């Protein structure tokens, strides 16, 4: 799947998707962790809009920091 663009939905694509669907990504705090528990472990902390255009490893985890619990269920 990494070579099939329509199946590529990584952090940058998620950031763009959220913005295109009405989320204010400049106010959404996020953490991205790569290669957790290895000597190559890295982390990113910022806002979702800062993820656009960034590349992360396929072995990464994205965590949204929410002060108010929201879910896709509450959006039309």
pLDDT in tens, 9-41: 889 999 999 999 999 999 999 999 999 888 999
Four-residue CA torsion sign, 32, 15, 71, 30:
positive
Structural domain contains residue 9: yes
* Cα gap 41→2, rounded to integer Å: 21
* Cα gap 76→67, rounded to integer Å: 21
Q: Which domain holds residue 24?
A: 5-66
The total domain count for the chain is 1
HSE-up (13 A, CA, CB side) for residue 7: 5
Structural domain contains residue 15: yes
Structural domain contains residue 71: no
pTM: 0.75
Per-residue pLDDT at 3? 73
Structural domain contains residue 47: yes
């Amino acid at each position: 799947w990494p070579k099939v663009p329509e199946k590529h939905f990584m952090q940058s694509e998620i950031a763009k998707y959220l913005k295109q669907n009405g989320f204010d990504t400049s106010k959404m705090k996020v953490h991205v962790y790569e290669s957790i528990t290895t000597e190559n472990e890295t982390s990113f902390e910022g806002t979702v809009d800062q993820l656009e255009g960034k590349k992360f490893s396929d072995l990464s985890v994205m965590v949204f920091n929410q002060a108010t619990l929201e879910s896709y269920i509450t959006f039309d």
